[in-house]
Amino acid sequence: MDSIAAIPESEYFKAEAHLYRYIYSHINSTVLKCAVQLDIPDIIHSHGQPITIPQLISKLEVHPTKTGCVERLVRFLVHNGFLLETKVNNEEDEESEAYTLTPSSKLLVKAMEPNLAPIVRLVETGYMATFDFLGSWFKGNDKTIAEMAFGVSMWEMLEHDPLRLKSFNEAMASDSQMITKVLKDSKSVFKGLESIVDVGGGTGTTCRIISEAYPNMKCIVFDLPQVVENCSGSKNLSFVGGSMFRSIPSADAVLIKWILHNWDDESSLKILNNCKEAITKKGEGGKVIIIDAVIKEKDDDDGMMQVKLLFDILMMSTLNGKERTEKEWKKLLEAAGFKHYKTAPLSGFRSIIEAYP
């Protein structure tokens, strides 16, 4: 057996710690979920000032035998950037530690928008357990780990599980709150458009915000029938059920947000071809507006790259999809016959690609 004695001792134990951080990294997401389940972001938000551990305990519904663990949970959340430690003086003028929210945990407060708590709630054992299949998925010919775990594709599983469908749609809606914050200000993207169809638009959060920002634009949310069946529109917002693999309602422009990363190139080409068919204003500003991640091997910093690579593994294994590099987007859009396209980063880890037929 080869010896690793050649590795300097400092590196050797750094490597051990590196391994342990990954071995137990699922605890990161479950602790975050636990903080949401215990309403910690909401409690600190409504407290309105830095909260001490006794004050937090008095508001948490934890069992008396667990109150001593709250301080350790808080220490973990501080270390990982979800709480900020500060000092306060009590009535006797004694100094003690107190805690406030950070930008990341403010995104988990129910009373604020955007609120990403529904995405955190998707961290449930049913989904997480599918990752146990990852090793055997690589060796077998199953399409996805979702099919290995549930016997059907993720979309079919959601169709037959109303509770999971509801929580998935809520999670997607909360992500849309995030994106529409910047999209609303991207006036040049919507300039001259009289109608838009949001393909795979879920329960319509993105399209509703666009319809309110542009009251003269006809906005259509198009998604699977079971997703849109109970959604109600407004004067310039309507919902249509169907499959983007069959046909898409016509409009000046087609929006596809967080859709193409769910699909492999073959399926994405079908979707893009149907999008092109649906565009009424061909050659006159009609376009497909894609919102998705673009992997930029040279420009992405470590944090951005990590998010994109995590999503890539998630898409690869659960949906047979992928996060694409700049080169892969170029290849896909050229294969779909778009004459030209332009890409601009949105704030965050996604970009906006406007592709013209």
Ligand X SMILES: C[S@@+](CC[C@H](N)C(=O)[O-])C[C@H]1O[C@@H](n2cnc3c(N)ncnc32)[C@H](O)[C@@H]1O
Nearer to ligand X, 156 or 334 (CB): 156
Distance spanning both ends of the chain, measured CA to CA: 60
Q: What is the binding site for ligand X (CB under 6 A)?
A: 155, 172, 175-176, 200-202, 223-224, 227, 243-245, 257-259, 262
Calculated CA dihedral for residues 254, 263, 326, 328, nearest 10 degrees: -120
User: In whole angstroms, what is the distance from residue 343 CA to residue 350 CA?
Assistant: 10
Can you read off the two tokens belonging to residue 191?
A: 């300039």
∠ Cα 36 105 206 (to 5°): 90
In the complex, the smallest distance separating the C-beta of residue 116 from ligand X, rounded to whole angstroms, is 12
**Distance (Å) of CA 5 to CA 11, 19, 20, 236, 333:** 11, 18, 20, 70, 51
Residue type, 196: I
- The closest residue (CB) to ligand X is 200
DSSP, res 346: P
Tokens of 294: 């673009």
- Please identify, using beta-carbon distances, which residue of 13 and 245 lies nearer to ligand X: 245
**CA nearest neighbour of 257 among 318, 306, 186:** 186
| Catalytically annotated residue among 18, 47, 261, 340 | 261
Min. distance of Cβ 323 from ligand X in angstroms? 13
How far apart CA 38 and CA 105 sit, in angstroms, is 13
The reply to whether 261 belongs to the active site is yes
How does DSSP classify residue 133?
A: G
Helix 205-213 and helix 162-183, axial crossing angle in degrees, nearest 10:
30
CB of 28 to ligand X, least distance (A): 22
- Of the pair 42, 144, the CB lying nearest ligand X is at 144
CB of 122 to ligand X, least distance (A): 11
Tell me the DSSP string of 29-73: HHHHHHHHHTTHHHHHHHH-S-B-HHHHHHHS---GGGHHHHHHH
Find the shortest distance in angstroms from Cβ 215 to ligand X: 22
Q: Is the dihedral of CA 301, 348, 114, 323 positive or negative?
A: negative
Shortest Å, Cβ 42 to ligand X: 23
Taking the C-alpha atoms of residue 149 and residue 318, their distance in angstroms, rounded to an integer, is: 10
Q: How far apart are CA 122 and CA 37, in angstroms?
A: 12
Shortest Cβ 219–ligand X spacing (Å): 13
Mark residue 313 as left, alpha or beta (left: phi above 0; alpha: psi -120 to 50; beta: remaining): alpha
* Residues assigned a catalytic role: 261
